[in-house]
Amino acid sequence: MDELPLAIQMKLRAMPGADSGVQTVEVILEDGRLVPDVRILDCAYVEDDTFEPEQVADVRLPAAPPSASSALVFLLLLLAGIFVMYYLLRAFKPD
């Protein structure tokens, strides 16, 4: 396990889950790559060996998965838009 830079450790201490000792975060590297689901122990040590800890530019909590209700609302609005377009095309059809 490798140790993260001090600035990142301080940010992890302020994030939720710091008191449990194990945090799962998304890591943003200096070159812009995003490494999802990285386990951090005691706000300092990385269990993932796919990147160098010195290259960590930022950390953030994983994004919440989209809810089924918001997906359903989007689908209903999309279908309503299609029906309105179809109706308007038929209503304004030149003879």
Q: For residue 62, what are the contacts with CB-CB under 8 A and spacing of at least 6? A: 24, 25, 26, 36, 37
Query: C-alpha angle 27/38/52, rounded to 5°?
Result: 65
pLDDT tens digits along 33-52: 888 888 888 888 888 778 88
Q: What is the pLDDT of residues 65-76, one digit of tens each?
A: 788 999 999 999
Q: List Cα–Cα distances, 33 to 12, 19, 28, in angstroms.
A: 19, 28, 6
pLDDT value of position 73: 95
Residues above pLDDT 70, as percent of the chain: 97
Mean pLDDT of the chain: 86
